[in-house]
Amino acid sequence: MGFKIFSGSAHKEFGKELARHLDCALSNALLNRFSDGEISVQISESVRGKDVFIIQPTCAPTNDNLMELLIMTDAFKRSSANSINAVIPYFGYARQDRKVAPRVPITAKLVANLLQSAGINRVITMDLHAGQIQGFFDIPVDNLYGAVLFRDYIRHKNLINPIIASPDIGGVARARYFADLLGLDLVIVDKKREKANVSEVMNIIGNVEGKDVVLIDDMIDTAGTMCKAAYALKNRGATSVRALGTHAVLSGVAYKNIEESVLDEVVVTNTIPLHIEDPKIKVLSVAPLFAEVIRRIYHNESVNSLFI
């Protein structure tokens, strides 16, 4: 076999599951820390001439996981790997993709530069917060769509009167794509964001009376937006409200917000490991999809055909 799968420490279970779907064992790398916190990496087997795939979402602790990915990449490059492919199910720092105020960084571009400079030849990720981040790279970037899993899940729910909703104006394109996949109508929750991670629902654009509403977004962070949107939708007569988010960031008071909300269900994927089980939260695995993409890349087959 001409490729090897390695996993960083960010989401070891995802790496193991992905390897199982590829009918191979997860390759060995020793990941340790010096007493001052510096990351130490040693590859435990030969990778000379091999196509290497590193599984490492850059979720919290973001800086540690990103640095670990860079150090692993350097180790593989110095070990004469044929190619180094970064499988980053959740791409951290993607929310800082443009200048929204004077004297602020474009951190997504900085991360792209770091990954390329380290020696990565390809990035495989899912539901980038902003699609244009692909253009920050001068190497191939495969941005997979979690909507295909959510589509099948919603179809199997057999909702009586479903309708798709975007939790904000910025997510309309994503929600419209999902609505088109299912052949459903779309409504929009218009909100005014006062500051980062704090939002206020202002208005519902569209009719949700008697509808089973499905909110769709790329990530759920503090869950404040989703929970307030659900409250507004129920006030407008929605029968049920479900929240779908590819990346379960779930920081701060997210679990408390979800538990106390009127949301009937929250559906996420395992691009980020969940450390707390909650009866309201359903997790769908994207490991089979990533495994198929890796297989196709290795055999020079089309990836896009998976999403048509």
Query: Does residue 191 have an active-site annotation?
Result: yes
- Strand 198-205 and strand 186-195: pairing? antiparallel
Please name the residues in contact with 29: beta carbons below 8 A apart, sequence gap of 6 or more: 6, 7, 41, 42, 43, 44, 72, 75
- Give the distance from CA 192 to its chain's centroid: 24
Residues 6+ apart with CB under 8 A from 121: 83, 84, 85, 139, 140
Catalytic residue (one of 191, 211, 228, 234): 191
Return d(Cα 256, Cα 239) in angstroms, integer.
Answer: 23
Cα–Cα distance list, 101 to 13, 98, 104, 110 (Å): 39, 9, 6, 17
Return d(Cα 42, Cα 277) in angstroms, integer.
33
- Give yes or no for a contact between 250 and 271, defined as CB atoms under 8 angstroms apart: no
End-to-end CA separation in angstroms for the chain: 29
Record the tokens describing residue 156, joined without a space.
Answer: 């199997």
Catalytic residue annotation? 191
